[in-house]
Amino acid sequence: MARALPPGGRLITLEIDLHHAEVARRNLARAKLSDRVEVRIGRASELLDAMQGFVEPFDFVFIDADKASSDVYLKAVLTLSHPGTVIIVDNVVRDGKVADASSGDEDIQGIRRMTEWLATQPTISATAIQTVGGKSYDGFLMAIVG
C-alpha cells in the first residue's frame, strides 16, 4: 500500500500491540518506507476518534483488527472519508460462519452488525467477496463511499 502512494501521499496504520508496532516500524524502515508511513500505537477506536479534524479525509482504508469492533471501525472511518473513498474490511466470511445469526462468537456478531448497518446506508455501495485458498475460506468486504 505504501509503495502505491502517489508523491506526497501518506499512510497511517494503527496498532494496539507494542511488539507488533515495533516489528512494523522495523520492516517499514528496512523497506525505506518510514518517510510516508506512520505507525500509531493504541486502541484503534480511540486513535480514530483522536484523528477527527486533524487529518485529511482518507482515499483508502483497510480494516483488519479485532473483528468484534468491525461496526465501530467502519462508522469511525466513514467520518474520515470523502465521496469515492474505498474501504476494505478483511476476514468477513470466516468459513461461512458469518451466516449464523445465532453465533455466540463476538467476531461474527461484530461483522454481522457492520454488514447489517451498511445495508441501511443508501449512500454507500458495498459487496463482500468470498475467497478460498490454501489458508482458509474467508473473504473481504469492499465499500465505496457515495
Contacting residue, 11, 14, 89, 108, with ligand SAM by CB under 6 A: 14
Size of the site for ligand SAM (CB under 6 A): 10
For the CB of residue 24, give the shortest distance to ligand SAM in the complex, in Å.
Answer: 8
**Residue 114 touches ligand SAM, criterion: CB under 6 A:** no
**Residue 43 CB coordination number (10 Å):** 13
Residues between 43 and 102 with contacts to ligand SAM, criterion CB under 6 A:
43-44, 64-66
Burial 82-96 (b: 16+ CB within 10 A, else e): eeebebebebbbbee
Query: Grid coordinates standing for 137?
Result: 475460506
Q: Which residues bind ligand SAM (CB under 6 A)?
A: 14-17, 20, 43-44, 64-66
